[in-house]
Chain A
Amino acid sequence: LISLTVNGEQHDIDADPQMPLLWALRDLIKLTGTKYGCGIAQCGACTIHIDGQPARACVTTVSAAVGTEIRTIEGLSPDATHPVQQAWIELDVVQCGYCQSGQVMAAAALLEQNPSPTDAEIDAAMNGNICRCGTYPRIRAAVKRAAELMRGGQPA
């Protein structure tokens, strides 16, 4: 058995050590908020945090994740109150929503490291997260709004 710590909980799974973390999360641990888009780290839909850093679960092996703190979209906040989630809701960012777990996780990781990113910094950080609906302008605005909320701004 391989032991993984996901959202603060320990999960012992029976998996090939080379299995991408994505499938361990989705199929074995049944956390389906992390999405499967391309499987080759080109779309960003499977973005999670490993020890606070954004990572693509589809190309991260289970063995590489042993001993780390894995955080998925389900663990970002207990009730969708993380500033990024609040900003996303406030600005109606989502459309189909399939890429948004990854977008939200990428944005949360960015703001963790850079509390007031510029447009260029946002674009650079979010560059690997593709949105088929084209919500990019709102994503950028919502990242800024989330930064504001993190600095103590009031939710609308």
Chain B
Amino acid sequence: LSPANTGRRHFLIGVGVIAGGVAAGQLLRPYLVGGSEAAPKEFKPHAFVRIGADDRVTVIIGKSEMGQGVSIGLPMILAEELDVNPQRLAVEIAGIDPAFNHPFIPAQFTGGSMSVMTTYEALRRVGATARRMIVQAAATEWGVPAAQLRTEDGVVFAPDGRSATYGKFVEAASGRPVPAQESVALKNRADFRYIGKPQRRLDSRIKVNGAAQFGIDVNLPNMLVAVVARPPQFGALVRSFDASQARAVRGVVEVKPVPSGVAVIAEHTWAAIKGRGALRIEWRDGPGATLSTARLRTEHRALLARTGLLAKNQGDALAALSEARRKIDVEYELPYLAHACMEPLNAVAWVKNDRCEMWVARKASRRMRYSWRKHSAFRPPTSRSTPPFSVAASGVARVATRIFRSRRRTSPRVSIGRSRWCGRAKTIPAAATTDLLASIGCKRPSAPMVCRSPTSIATSASRYSPTRSSAVR
């Protein structure tokens, strides 16, 4: 669990635009520069931020926007130190890139209410560093000491009245060495313009006009859609199935058994769903055959009767209870429930000759990668940043897997899946995707995989399930 897990290699990938960038490596070890190439007239001192000659400031975040607000929460922290009004920012959600790993856990994921807590300092330092470099470039150009310049909302001001927007200094700043960490001062809290003040979300507009692209909205040319008929019981297996009627449905291209059930692959979603409805499947019991709500309850009750592990022992609880003036005796029971996010879980895969690209609504990118490695013959994803704004979903929920591939005779196209299977959903999209790929003969040893985020915002993260708690006196 080394915080320096990203290593030098990742840093070097994106460092092309800045000379002397090695210093940035020391600046923020866990957050080194990621893989995306900056356009020529862009200042990209770090994986978290790009400033264009057109004054466009783009903040790249490695967290999934699931509604919780990271796509404004994190950018505004960076914007504070950069001195840019957060409302003018563009926000991109990164693909899989170690530059966005958790500082202490070698994984890129969104969860545990840790996004702000674990990136606050780094975002501020990156913003402050970028601002400092812009100011130094301005100082050199104007022949004024940097200390005499001030900034406000993307504009540098000189004491003699001259001013210019950050974009003017993008080229000059790109050629400057990245200052060392200790030399870049952070603002005093009292000077905060944006942090601690309400900010409107930046993703509202695209979410009220239909433009936001969720995972399930990824549409590629000649994409096929697959849905999976999954067992009515946990862990049940396909004994046999009759696909003759399913195949007769117009638009159905293929029916294939997959580890989680039977996949119906079709030209569009409706044909796939209709085809799935026409399947006749005989299931055989699996390990979950005797699992039921009643049995879980009985088991949990039995566990209550046993002595548990001691986590902490402080004071004398029993004595305190016996002296209590008022005693409340209540039991709470929570049923076993699906989180039921509104966007069916899904994934899109594009299998090409030498690689596979995927769009996945996910909150644990790195986990996708591990899962991929485990389940497929493709090499795990390469570092690659993604197109604008993206997001993810996940959670324990209905699972839908959506796979697609290009329409080529030599390599059969693939699919989508949607299911009512509940369980360890975090690993399901990847597993289901790769299982499906494997089942249609798409194994292609050592082909690299590129993992992309859907081009826009996410789906319900389903952190809180609408659980019913029953109190029993």
CB pair B209–A28 under 8 Å, yes or no, is no
Given contacts A20-B270, A89-B200, A96-B457, contact A73 B210 (CB under 8 A): yes
CB pair A95–B209 under 8 Å, yes or no, is no
Given contacts A77-B209, A89-B208, A130-B342, contact A96 B460 (CB under 8 A): yes
CB pair B204–A93 under 8 Å, yes or no, is yes
Tell me the chain A residues, 80-120 only, with Cβ under 8 Å from chain B.
Answer: 80, 84-85, 88-89, 92-101, 104
Which residue of the partner chain A has the closest CB to B68? A95
CB pair B459–A100 under 8 Å, yes or no, is no
B284 to chain A, nearest CB (A): 28
Contacts of A23 in B (CB 8 A): 268-270
Asked if B273 CB lies within 8 Å of chain A CBs, one says: yes
Asked if A74 CB lies within 8 Å of chain B CBs, one says: yes
Question: A96 CA to B461 CA in the complex, in Å?
Answer: 8
Given contacts A92-B201, A98-B460, contact A80 B270 (CB under 8 A): no
Contacts of B342 in A (CB 8 A): 35, 37, 43, 45, 96, 98-99, 130, 132
Contacts of B268 in A (CB 8 A): 23, 27-28
Question: A92 CA to B115 CA in the complex, in Å?
Answer: 20
Contacts of A95 in B (CB 8 A): 67-69
Among B65, B69, B212, B250, the most chain A Cβ lie within 10 Å of the Cβ of B212
CB pair B211–A33 under 8 Å, yes or no, is yes
Given contacts A23-B269, A39-B273, contact A74 B209 (CB under 8 A): yes
B464 to chain A, nearest CB (A): 8
CB pair A94–B210 under 8 Å, yes or no, is no
Q: Size of chain B's interface in residues, with CB distance under 8 A?
A: 40
Contacts of B393 in A (CB 8 A): 96
Contacts of B457 in A (CB 8 A): 96-97
Question: A100 CA to B209 CA in the complex, in Å?
Answer: 9
Stretch from B18-26, B148-156, B213-221, B292-300 forming part of the interface with A: B213-221
Total number of A-B contacts with CB less than 8 angstroms? 115
Asked if A32 CB lies within 8 Å of chain B CBs, one says: yes
A17 to chain B, nearest CB (A): 12
Asked if B462 CB lies within 8 Å of chain A CBs, one says: yes
Which residue of the partner chain B has the closest CB to A24? B270
Contacts of A76 in B (CB 8 A): 209
Question: A76 CA to B205 CA in the complex, in Å?
Answer: 13
Contacts of B341 in A (CB 8 A): 98, 132
**CB within 8 Å of B: which residues of A?**
15-16, 19-20, 23, 26-28, 30-37, 39, 43, 45, 72-74, 76-77, 79-80, 84-85, 88-89, 92-101, 104, 130, 132-133
Q: Knowing that A32-B216, A39-B273, A92-B201 are A-B contacts, what are 16 other residue pairs whose CB atoms are under 8 Å apart, sorted by A's residue number?
A: A19-B270, A23-B270, A32-B210, A34-B210, A36-B269, A37-B342, A37-B343, A79-B209, A80-B205, A80-B209, A85-B208, A85-B209, A92-B200, A92-B204, A94-B208, A98-B214
